[in-house]
Amino acid sequence: MKKLHILLLRAFVPPFLASFSIVLFILTLQFISTYQNDIFGKGFSPGVIAQLFFYAMANLIKISLPISLLVAGLMTLGKLGEQYELAAIKSSGVSLFRVMYPLLMFGALITGISFYLSWFVIPATNLKLYSLLYDVKQAKPEFALKAGIINSNIPRYRIWFRDRDEAGMMHDFHLWDHSDQATANSQHLVADSAYVVMDDRLLYLRLTLFGAIQYQEKPALNQQAGYVAPFTRMYFDSLKYSLDMTGVGLQRNDESLFSRHQYTQNVLEITGSIDSLKTLPRKPAEAVRRLLNQQIRIDTALAQIAGLKPAPTQLYTRSALELIPASQQPACLARAQHTARQMKQWCAEQQRNLKEHREVLNKFRIEYQMMFAVPLACIIMLFIGAPLGAIIRKGGLGLPSIISILFFIVYYVLLTQGKKLAIDGAVPVWFGVWMPVMIIFPIALYVTYQSATDSRLFDLAAWRQLLPGRGKTNGRKTG
């Protein structure tokens, strides 16, 4: 049996490594396409870019492991079945589970690695990844310039422009330069259009202004009363202007600023955060209750001043309003309407706050459940891939790859939709996260049972025999 186990592992590991590398490469390309505008073309050193990919690799590895086990199981047992090696092993009295024993041990090891990555490694790398991504996005301010607002992210400068076209040209451009603080020299540049680029060393922001007008106000040389400071105005067909960007390059912020995010907390920290968030929804309800009691006491006091002594509950009935003198009824009615509007706005605000809090709490609960659901999917995918490969008896990258991709797409779509429904509160959090597992687990049991009983589920010849008219040939019945 040891030789058989070694044979199976030798047949299983190469497809696993090959599929793992391909999936990891595809996910890396997806990561690059998502953040390419923030990473490339900014003059960063290769070390900074390498850090980004290194920190993102842990999460990509966790996603790659389930589909890699599924593909490797399909290819390994499919190839053994195609070459009739699996039939020879079973004919010698070895059951399917005995054949799958080394693969299951390997899958259990991969599942354990996935658990460790989800619980401890990925939160730590996400903390460094998100902090570095934030610093990278802030490193080149011209990409962060927004149209229609005064951009003040560059010290000593203010920039405003109406819009920017696809080529990067800014229209109706305004620049306020307050860099010469020693002489209190202030400049205002207006241009029909402007083009902005960053130099290679991230030291200067190069501006090319077209149809520019420069307004410059100099400090007064004579401090006598009535003296007007000199003011100049110059016109340019094109003007090149440089903004000093010293200290605005890649500046690293404190990583602890991102430690409160659900993706950056390990399994122990996120448990404590969930316990803390559970107690917060009581505060809005208590605030509303206190405000209601306060308003009731105020209305009661005013009624007593008016000479009435009704119970608090009688203040909101029509008969109680009629007891108030006619001269005081308009004022009391206006105040009651004002109080009702205030209470309605307050309750609506508390309701929005409570909804946002529940969404945050659901996100933390989802991330906690994901730490268990995704690693467990590794071993379930192996239970689907290996028995299914023994049934279809097809090796290589053709049919196994197609089936693996279909299973993984179904799993990923169910997981994404389940998380979305759980965040909105449409379904319980545990159901939204574990819904893909609850669907694919019965499939794994069914496929394993069919493979263990030598089912001909995917045998096309067997299905043709069941079709009407297929059991007769030249007027004779075939067995």
Give the pairing of strands 231-244 and 185-198. Answer: unpaired
pTM score, whole prediction: 0.68
The pair of three-digit structure tokens given for residue 67, joined into one six-digit string:
């589909």
The pair of three-digit structure tokens given for residue 334, joined into one six-digit string:
């206006």
DSSP string, 223-234: -STTPPPPEEEE
CA distance 169 to 162: 11
Nearest to 379 by CA among 105, 59, 108: 108
Q: What mean pLDDT comes out for the span 265-269?
A: 91
pLDDT of residue 462: 54
CA distance 120 to 114: 10
Judged against a pLDDT cut of 70, whether residue 454 lies above it is answered with: yes
DSSP string, 89-132: HHHTT--HHHHHHHHHHHHHHHHHHHHHIIIIIHHHHHHHHHHH
Contact assessment for residue 202 and residue 249, using Cβ atoms and an 8 Å cutoff: yes
pLDDT of residue 260: 85
Contact assessment for residue 307 and residue 292, using Cβ atoms and an 8 Å cutoff: no
Q: Which of 242-246, 259-263, 430-434 has the weakest average pLDDT?
A: 242-246
- Please report which confidence band the pLDDT of residue 172 belongs to, taking 50, 70 and 90 as the band edges: very high
pLDDT of residue 46: 81
The pair of three-digit structure tokens given for residue 357, joined into one six-digit string:
């809090």
Give the pairing of strands 472-473 and 476-477. Answer: antiparallel
Q: Measured between alpha carbons, how far is residue 397 from residues 12, 197, 250 in Å?
A: 14, 47, 44
pLDDT of residue 364: 93
Q: What mean pLDDT comes out for the span 413-423?
A: 91
Q: Which residue has the higher pLDDT, 273 or 248?
A: 273
DSSP string, 172-195: EEEEEEEEETTTTEEEEEEEEEEE
Q: Which of 259-263, 268-272, 347-351, 356-360 has the weakest average pLDDT?
A: 347-351
What's the mean per-residue pLDDT of the chain? Answer: 79
3-state secondary structure of 42: coil
Q: Which residue has the higher pLDDT, 389 or 201?
A: 389
Judged against a pLDDT cut of 50, whether residue 158 lies above it is answered with: yes
